[in-house]
Amino acid sequence: MFYIYCPYCGEHREEEEFHPKGQAHIERPKDPEACSDEEWGNYLFFRNNPRGVHHEMWVHAVGCRKFFNVTRHTVSYEILETYKMGEQPSITADSQKQPREPAAVSHQEGVRA
Amino acid sequence: MQRYSGFGLVKHALSHHENWERQWRNPTPKKQYDVIIVGGGGHGLATAYYLAKEFGVKNVAVIEKGWLGGGNTARNTTIVRSNYLWDESAALYEHAMKLWEGLSQDLNYNVMFSQRGVLNLGHTLQDMRDIQRRVNANRLNGIDGEVLDAKGVQALVPIMDCSKSARYPVMGASWQPRAGVARHDAVAWGYARGADALGVDILQQTEVTGFKIRDGQIYGVHTNRGDIEAKTVGCVAAGNSGVLANMGGFKLPLESHPLQALVSEPIKPILDTVVMSNHVHGYISQSDKGDLVIGAGIDGYNGYGQRGSYPTVEHTLQAIVEMFPIFSRVRMNRQWGGIVDTCPDACPIISKTPVKGLFFNCGWGTGGFKATPGSGHVFAASLAKGEMHPIAEPFSMFRFHSGALIDEHGAAGVAH
């Protein structure tokens, strides 16, 4: 069971209030007509599926109903941070390789599933 | 290979069953093989078995990082059926079904395949229309199927709540009598024993750490037990396929999700068929041991952790109790999760890749177990000839660029 911090509500809530919505930070091609089949297929169907740090969207379905982003580890399931749409993650797979500063995850620590 | 038989059982009883032959060897890796299979689950072992038995390729290694059948082969709910809607998937799963029907004899290993039938329930008018369409499509493809009304369902499963007062009343079901369940571990072990007897090397606790690729052609793999060479490599690594594809320098349209299942305490025989419902989303059967085997949908988030969230378990059990109020006080014994590699169109990938000689068989998502023999057979044929088997052809990974998807998602009874 996750205990997720909604950056819009500013509160931790239980997983059942949320739905996962897949990989975050996907940009729709500016001019779809100009895409090759490969580019369009990649945009539609190909997702990062890392064994490690993953940036994903969740929606606070029975709360504020807003989408937001979560950085989560896909093996430990630990939620490393949550942040609003349009913001960039402060924790990435690369930054994870260095030792983490404890302050960076302060009150947003997720409960392990 | 020592053949199993009733007589053998009596003979070994005289020596207190202490002299049974080991089912497979534990060989040291050779430097070079004709074909390497990465992944020692059901599909990988079946591939190796059919390669050696039907296609005369005996210099084969199966590389497994853990132990045989320790992944999803040991974690599924053992349901076998072939009532898929589209021609492509119907052909694949029916191919598997025909192999299932003779598998115990073929392997000389009791896989406990029990054709007790599978019900896919309909709870809405649209469900019933979809069921009729699917059963008709199945029949045109030579797959058995019947549409039952609520009375017919009640007659088959007297303990189910088919009353009109249910929250989601059962309106009917599709019924595939030839479908059923099989003993999942025995499938992996039977294929391993059969393959080993034909000369296949099964290398357990050997992890592939990279591919050896030169000029776009594969010529071997790096492992934690040294390099092994082969001009043909087939990857059948389920949840870890994406990680392997990265090693090969390309991406697969897969996402790995946790899929959970649970079993109850053993109880006396009460359910002699398999009941699945897409609408309330749960499925259930009873094993020979007596425990109820229960499963449902995936957890929506990506995960490699082989465990999921409790709300998913709770929803599954709500569905089961909705259908079977009589089970409301049955206690659950164990609950676990596997990692399933799901494709956007809910169909597998059995395909060549951008690397010559490297083949992938993955993306089975939530329903790979039922296809084990068929998947292994068509993949073995493809590896042996270097060209995709006609049944495997539509499942190319390049369909996600051409757009020729096989949209089995939602169209058929794709609860597994």
The reply to whether residue B305 touches residue A113, judged by beta carbons under 8 angstroms, is yes
Alpha carbon of residue B296 to chain centroid: 15
Name the helix (H) or strand (E) containing B239: none
Average pLDDT over residues B295-307: 88
CATH of the domain at A30: 3.30.2270.10
Per-residue model confidence as pLDDT tens digits over B160-191: 999 999 999 999 999 999 999 999 999 999 99
What confidence score (pLDDT) does residue B203 get?
A: 96
Strand-pairing partners, residue A12, are: A5
Q: pLDDT above 70 covers what percent of chain B?
A: 98
Query: Residues 319-348, chain B: which have Cβ within 8 Å of A?
Result: 344
What confidence score (pLDDT) does residue A113 get?
A: 42
What confidence score (pLDDT) does residue A104 get?
A: 41
- ipTM, 2 decimals? 0.88
What confidence score (pLDDT) does residue B88 get?
A: 95
Q: Which residue segment(s) compose the domain that A97 sits in?
A: 3-112
For chain A, the domain total comes to: 1
What confidence score (pLDDT) does residue A103 get?
A: 41
What confidence score (pLDDT) does residue A111 get?
A: 44
Query: Which one-letter amino acid corresponds to residue B124?
Result: T
Please say if the pLDDT value at position B243 is more than 50.
yes
B199: left (phi over 0), alpha (psi -120 to 50) or beta: left
Closest-CA distance, A106 to chain B, in angstroms, reads: 24
**Contact present, A1 and A77 (Cβ < 8 Å):** no
What confidence score (pLDDT) does residue A97 get?
A: 67
What confidence score (pLDDT) does residue B401 get?
A: 95
- The token duo for B163 is 């009353």
Please say if the pLDDT value at position B411 is more than 70.
no
Which of the four pLDDT bands, split at 50, 70 and 90, describes residue A98?
Answer: low
Neighboring chain A residues of B403 at a CB cutoff of 8 Å? 37, 41
Which of the four pLDDT bands, split at 50, 70 and 90, describes residue B307?
Answer: confident
Q: Assign B83 to helix, strand or coil.
A: coil
Mean pLDDT of chain B: 94
Residue B304 has its nearest CB partner, among A37, A45, A74, at A74
**Contact present, B189 and B40 (Cβ < 8 Å):** no
Q: Any idea which residue has 């009304």 for tokens? A: B149
Count the Cβ atoms, other than its own, within 10 Å of residue B365. 25
